[in-house]
Amino acid sequence: MLQKEVIKCYIKAGRIASEVRDKVKTLVKEDVSLLEICNWVENKIKDKGGKLAFPCNICINDVAAHYSSSINDDTVVPRDSVVKIDLGVHVDGYIADTAITVCLNHQYDGMVYAINEALKQAIKAVKPGIKNSHIGSIIQKTIERYGFKPIWNLSGHQMTRYVLHTGKSIPNISTFGLSKIREGEVFAIEPFLTLRAGVGEVTGLKRTHIYRFHKTHRNLNKDADKLQELIKKRFNSLPFSKRWLNEPSEHFSFADERMEKAFSEVLAKKSITGYPVLAERSGKIVAQAEHTVIVTKNGCLVTTL
């Protein structure tokens, strides 16, 4: 059972996340800068009194996850693209994680309908005692019923205070897992699908825009040590964007070149780790939907509706 105060934080984070998610939809248009969208989302979250649980992800077409603009990103939303926006808010460490897919070509509307339906059916089934793998089979069946293929190697995840991915996962396909969902647990459920002709699998690209603190390294040079301490203090173990380190508001008082060196050092020593951009292996278009739920006595409370 979660305490009342904790649930209040989850609900506040969820409300902010859903408001921002519903508004950003209207911003996603051909030729709009991805950096502008990321900044807009992140500023809106802060304006509404939330904190950033992770950088705004904006993934185009076959890119499924972990793309967020770098500080000088000049990429724009391509014509007829399928755009996933995934955003995270926390209030006192209690996280809301939610995502939508926006289609600029109506040809792909069916994918969005199917992914939303898969998420809806999964949420309907959540209650204490149900196997996580059962949720996965519901997601797979729903996606396949509409003629698409689930992405097998991406999954929903449990969340705890200041920890985005932890504990149990919720697969997007049928598995043999035995773990069960319990009352008071919090999950992000996030089905992904691609076209039936796709492989249904994501693979890491050689680009990374999102990082998180991993462990304290004791023998870093002075700048790197300072950066490590700042990262630890500022982001806890939550994911952050390298772009944030260059924002004056973040108080990382480094000149650009020193920052680059310090950053390479903390990365090389594994004081921080990165999340490489993930794309569908056969280059097929991907759609995603995501909500955060708190498991209650008889079902679940969706905080990001």
Active site residues: 86, 97, 157, 165, 190, 290
Q: Which of 85, 139, 188, 266 binds Mn ion (CB under 5 A)?
A: 188
Give 185 or 190: the residue with its C-beta nearer to Mn ion.
190
Closer residue to Mn ion in complex, CB, 185/290: 290
CB of 95 to Mn ion, least distance (A): 9
Cβ-contact 95, 159 below 8 angstroms:
yes
Which one of 94-102, 144-152, 250-258, 264-272 is the stretch in contact with Mn ion (CB under 5 A)? 94-102
Nearer to Mn ion, 86 or 265 (CB): 86
Task: Compare residues 133 and 155 and give the one whose CB is closer to Mn ion.
Answer: 155
Q: Residue 157 CB, nearest distance to Mn ion (Å)?
A: 6
Cβ distance to Mn ion smaller for residue 156 or 200: 156
Region binding Mn ion by CB under 5 A among candidate stretches 123-131, 182-190, 251-259, 270-278: 182-190
- Should residue 58 be labelled a site residue for Mn ion when binding is judged by CB under 5 A? no
Residues facing 291 on adjacent strands? 189
Using CB under 5 A, which residues numbered 99 to 138 contact Mn ion? Answer: 99
**Closest separation between CB of residue 292 and Mn ion, Å?**
8
User: With 0-12 CB in 10 A as exposed, 13-18 as middle and 19+ as buried, what is 107?
Assistant: exposed
Dist. CA 232–CA 56, nearest whole Å: 20
From the CB of 154, what's the least distance to Mn ion, in Å?
A: 9
Q: Which of 50, 83, 94, 97 binds Mn ion (CB under 5 A)?
A: 97
Of the candidates 42, 62, 86, 280, which one interacts with Mn ion according to CB under 5 A?
Answer: 86
- Near Mn ion by CB under 5 A, which window of 80-88, 109-117, 141-149, 244-252? 80-88
Interacting residues with Mn ion between 14 and 33 (CB under 5 A): none
Using CB under 5 A as the binding rule, the residues of this chain from 284 to 303 that contact Mn ion are 290
- C-beta of 217: minimal distance to Mn ion in Å? 28
Query: Least Å distance between CB 116 and Mn ion?
Result: 15
* Residue 105 Rama label (left phi>0; alpha psi -120 to 50; beta): beta
97 or 225: CB nearest Mn ion: 97
> Do the beta carbons of residue 78 and residue 30 sit within 8 Å?
yes
List residues binding Mn ion (CB under 5 A).
Answer: 86, 97, 99, 188, 190, 290
